[in-house]
């Protein structure tokens, strides 16, 4: 894997859990599981930061409003039948 190398000192308990998860999911080992965990954590935090953009917040709220309106319309149509 190309990229940058870092050194982490993990508590033994965390390393054991990473190894167990890796084995259960067929991941090469605890080190690979740690890389995946960091990538997933970073992705979630990036999404949270992106959501703080007022334009994105408006877009999400507008989409939710449209979905709610469509669901309400669908329920009203079902009641008529």
Give the model confidence (pLDDT) of 8-67 as tens digits. 999 999 999 999 999 999 999 999 999 999 999 998 888 887 777 766 556 656 777 777
pTM higher than 0.85 for the full model? no
Q: Please choose, from the candidates 60, 41, 40, 42, the residue with its C-alpha nearest in 3D space to the C-alpha of residue 52.
A: 60
Cα separation, 22 vs 36, in Å, equals 10
Cβ neighbours of residue 56 under 8 Å, at least 6 residues apart? 50
């Amino acid at each position: 894997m190309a990229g940058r190398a870092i050194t982490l000192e993990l508590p033994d308990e965390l390393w054991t859990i990473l190894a167990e998860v890796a084995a259960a999911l067929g991941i090469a080992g605890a080190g690979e599981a740690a890389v995946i965990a960091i990538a997933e954590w970073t992705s979630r935090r990036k999404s949270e930061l992106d959501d703080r953009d007022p334009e994105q917040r408006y877009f999400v709220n507008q989409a939710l409003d449209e979905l709610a309106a469509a669901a309400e319309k669908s329920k009203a149509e079902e009641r008529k039948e």
